[in-house]
Structure 1
């Protein structure tokens, strides 16, 4: 890759300044779905020159993103209407961050709602409608949802989650009924699949229909874009669907391995259902005790943990996210945590009169 980049810059004056390809040129040149098995780096690099570089000034960037998000949609079994097919109004765009994606969704929903209400009640001003709008999110949702509400100028209400930290349809319906009765206009619910604190999943099938934005120009805030889809193309081809499945399943298995180690030690408790590669756990006892344990772990600089609060409990988060992590690292981390816990509890016993 380094040689390719060096050759590219050395031969830049020999390349075409403007692409000679037509819009829509790229999709027929690549498969309509990700490969099941990994492909070689050499094959991917050849296709960069053959497929990407002829449209590098613009079309390739836009069109590869459309195709890569269709690949992703098929990998997670999204219905066809979510994909950017010939007769579909679906498709996706890569946002700069989760915060940006949330804001774009909220602004799109706000605009659609205002237009609908004004078409039914032309006498109502945009300012009047805005004052009545209310959006919703889980009480476990990321702070970026609240930030989107502040930027969008609308109220955000938190919906109480259940004992698994998931929002249920019944809880949302109750709040919607109360707010409509109070004269408010519910217009947006931000469901969460994998909350930041504990990776909980809202019950999507209970939370009602999802509407789609259909104007491509308004799918993002910036007018320009980075070539992020090229990275996706490399990853999808060099891992293959099977490789990505193995990657995720390995992290899930390792998280359950760590969960079992925690459950075998009666000093600890699991604080949330283990779904993907995140284990939320704590010492049975006060928040102050767990804060002291976290400080001891991070001060030792052998592993690093980040905390969260669940139902006012101070909780430690063990996140498995490295490409090279293996069982030996899980065992090492747990032995280290267990050793520091023993030392902490002994020190506390000595301090007691």
Structure 2
């Protein structure tokens, strides 16, 4: 994946741990960032109380693609006496799977001594392919990094990897040092890397995926999905009734039917009610968006064309005002005639 060497345990300074989900990884990173911010404030003022930071954490969502907006927002917080201590940038994250410019965001975070966390929950798998690694430019500014193999790397739920640059700083806010937990001294106590003290043996399933497929097999799998997503994008662009909403980087295409949000909701309801394929939706910038995810491991261009014809068929019915397609079929086809390939599935943490 070509992540920075400082994230590896072999370098002693950093390290990684499998978390249940991306949410757990972000939460633990945020706790560590808050602890580091408190420690920095205490260096400046010994009388500061932890409660001033524990009482409330304000969340601000800004378009980090516009770095000036991020800088301005952090400066405004600092002027109000607040401490901007944690910034999350994305590299292929639900819901629109966009990529932020880390090389521009990183220096801003350094200026405010803020912890930069990179969320690559879905897109991180693509960095197995060298062609996608330029998207990671600026990763050296990050303090932590998450990616979830259960989202796009042939691994079943749950399996999310968290890397941290400075594990001592990370563990300082998470370590529980009760006497009954003090056992034989070991080099690395992974109990303190997660919110629960105990953890499941998640690493073995990821190990089997890597052993069974190899780096070339996983790269071919990722590339196939990306090429098929581009194929689907081309099909959309040929139909003037539809438009692609966001740039297609990976195996997900965000699109919508030209018209109102209600029209798109009816389209999605019609498609999913038919049980021919299954799509998901999201909302970004106040706009309802439909998501097409290439998820089937052995998907082909023929599968994509079949899915597109289904979408077109339901779009025609919805645009004609025929609501009969939104009703569930009263009888299901015999099991042997059901299509076992469900190309599009929901991606969850």
TM-score, normalized by length of structure 2?
0.67
> Larger radius of gyration, structure 1 or 2?
1
Matched, 1:117 2:41: yes
Matched, 1:341 2:244: no
Check 1:160–1:79 CA distance in 2 against 1; reply closer, same or farther (3 A cut).
Answer: closer
Rounded to whole Å, the distance in 2 between the matches of 1:204 and 1:322 is 31
Matched, 1:296 2:228: no
Secondary structure of the structure 2 residue equivalent to 1:128: helix
For the 8 Å contact 2:252–2:294, the answer to whether it is kept is yes
Rounded to whole Å, the distance in 2 between the matches of 1:79 and 1:210 is 10
Matched, 1:196 2:94: yes
Rounded to whole Å, the distance in 2 between the matches of 1:183 and 1:328 is 58
Residue 60 of structure 2: aligned partner: 157
Equivalent of residue 32 in structure 2, options 101, 105, 108: 108
- Where do 1:274-289 residues align within 5 Å? 274-289=248-263
- Residue 348 of structure 1 and its aligned partner are, at CA, apart by 6.3
- Residue 117 of structure 1 and its aligned partner are, at CA, apart by 1.1
Q: Bigger CA drift: 220-229 or 208-217?
A: 208-217
Question: Which consecutive unaligned segments of at least 5 residues does structure 1 have?
Answer: 1-75, 132-152, 162-166
For the 8 Å contact 1:282–1:290, the answer to whether it is kept is yes
Secondary structure of the structure 1 residue equivalent to 2:87: strand
Rounded to whole Å, the distance in 2 between the matches of 1:330 and 1:259 is 10
Residue 252 of structure 1: aligned partner: 226
Secondary structure of the structure 2 residue equivalent to 1:275: coil
Secondary structure of the structure 1 residue equivalent to 2:198: coil
- Where do 1:1-353 residues align within 5 Å? 76-85=1-10, 87-130=11-54, 153-161=56-64, 167-208=65-106, 209-211=141-143, 212-215=165-168, 218-347=192-321
Question: Which consecutive unaligned segments of at least 5 residues does structure 2 have?
Answer: 107-140, 144-164, 176-191, 324-349
1:136-162 per-position Cα deviation (integer Å, ceiling 9, x unaligned): xxxxxxxxxxxxxxxxx411111135x
- Residue 129 of structure 1 and its aligned partner are, at CA, apart by 4.0
- Residue 180 of structure 1 and its aligned partner are, at CA, apart by 0.9
- Residue 255 of structure 1 and its aligned partner are, at CA, apart by 0.3
1:285-310 per-position Cα deviation (integer Å, ceiling 9, x unaligned): 11111111111111111001111112
User: Which structure has more helix as a fraction of its residues?
Assistant: 1
For the 8 Å contact 2:246–2:254, the answer to whether it is kept is yes
- Residue 320 of structure 1 and its aligned partner are, at CA, apart by 0.9
For the 8 Å contact 2:15–2:166, the answer to whether it is kept is no
RMSD in angstroms over aligned alpha carbons?
1.7
- Residue 345 of structure 1 and its aligned partner are, at CA, apart by 1.8
